[in-house]
Amino acid sequence: MPAQDKTRRLPPQAISQDITSWHGLQTVSTYDTTRADASVAKLQQTYQAMLAQKQAETEKFTLYRAAADAARLAEWEFHNAVLAMKEVIRGQYGSDSDQAQAVGLKKKSERKRPNRKKSVAIAI
């Protein structure tokens, strides 16, 4: 049997089949084994641990999504505040001021004027 790659998640179908097998085993009253890792007690323990961990994962993922939403909204609020500040700088000091350049705006005098492209006459 090849080594198991425990860094990847098992497919949901495999987990579902395992749970179905576990529930099916509970109907077998004569099941008895000497293998500790296949005993009913071990199966019950690992099943309960899996359910607890999946619940914890779901709770943490929900908290993560809430935190990500809050961070996204905070980023937008900051971005809009910076845009408002730039408008105030432009209005208070002018578009060609050093203060406008200090906050990341381009001075009006340093903008290049658009060049007209001369049309090339096609001789036939």
Ranges of each domain in the chain: 14-24+33-110
Backbone angles phi, psi at 20, to 5 degrees: -60, -40
Which position has the higher pLDDT, 79 or 124? 79
pLDDT recorded at residue 76: 96
CA distance 39 to 43: 6
Q: pLDDT digits over 25-67, tens only?
A: 999 989 988 999 999 999 999 999 999 999 999 999 999 999 9
Q: Where are the alpha helices (DSSP H) in 3-124?
A: 12-25, 40-93, 98-102
Instruction: Give this prediction's pTM.
Output: 0.64
CB-CB contact of 105 with 115 (8 Å): no
Backbone angles phi, psi at 97, to 5 degrees: -95, 160
CA distance 25 to 43: 10
- Tokens representing 37? 């890792």
CB-CB contact of 96 with 109 (8 Å): yes
